[in-house]
Amino acid sequence: MVKISIPDDQPPLITDSPALARLRAATDAEVALWDTRPTSEVELLERISDAHTVICIRSTSHFTRHVIESSPALRHIARWGPGVDNIDLDAAGRMKIMVTNTPDTATDAVAEHCLALMLAVARKVPEIDARVRAGEWPRGLLTQLSGKTLGIVGTGLIGRRLARIAQGIGMSVIAWTRRPDEEWAAANQITYVELKVLLRESDVISLHLRLSAETRNIFSSDEFSAMKPTAILINVARGGLINENALADALRDSSIAGVGLDTFSSEPLPTDSPLRNIPNAILSPHTAGTTAEALTASLEMVVDNALQFMAGKTQNGVI
């Protein structure tokens, strides 16, 4: 019997969902689900042993070369979400393992969360709320985003959606990416610039890159030093894009004004992270895409990807 393994549904997303019920009803395959995350590579291998298809919910499950080469029955890794940086795609290609993802299911949700973080940092919402609850009536100037410049680093689906939202509240938008789409930029009144120019001119910078060897720690001390001291940094992409120790230093010495983060280099955020004690850092637990609408669409798509592959077809293939 064909086996489908879901090794890491914690906190539970697909458990008890209509999408999982549909998967069970649509196939005779054995569906094995764990509502905890594997604590080691050995445990991950135990959970996906003999699996034809793995539905990977969490990016903390690392499909390394060793995991892939040690899974002879594996033919398909169906990743929930758009990011596949936890999968060794070269190894998967060599072993003829299909990798799929769920693109464009949380674009609006994540872009809205970007806006929420931008406004929360600019208007100091958590700080003001806490002080009012404590009996204070704080005064002082806040930051208006209308009329300011947003620099978008990476113009994929989410970066493009955020550009439209930002323009809707009166911001100008500039962008940098590795493969500029000048036709799209011209049609949407957006200017591509060099990264050093974007750092210098942006009042808010939002990161929308995939994590790779080339992009890891793409924002570190030199980049923070090049930004305006009044600038705000937003990251809802991948935590590894930012050197978090350098970021903490930049926030402490006011090299930049604040940061809004939904992703971190290690998740959950370690208790000793320096970011926890910095007041001008607003933190959310990798939850930008977890609206009811986005969750339903993405779970249905990851199940569709699995069912299509078992029927001999491929949709949303990454390799």
Which member of 136, 267, 276, 293 is catalytic? 267
The tokens for 55 are 């539905």
Which member of 52, 76, 238, 244 is catalytic? 238
Catalytic site includes residue 252: no
Q: Which residues of 168-206 are buried (b: 16+ CB within 10 A; e: fewer)?
A: eeebbbbbbbeeeeeeebeeeebebbeeeebbebbbbbb
Which member of 47, 76, 79, 286 is catalytic? 286
Cis omega (within 30 of 0) for bond into 38? no
Any idea of the CA torsion for 252, 258, 261, 266, to the nearest 10 degrees?
Answer: -10
d(CA 149, CA 97): 43
* Cα torsion 311, 83, 5, 97: sign: positive
What 3-state class would DSSP assign to 150?
strand
Alpha helices for the chain (secondary structure H) = 18-26, 41-47, 65-69, 89-94, 107-122, 125-133, 157-168, 182-187, 195-201, 221-226, 244-252, 292-310
Catalytic site includes residue 267: yes
Residues marked as catalytic: 238, 267, 286
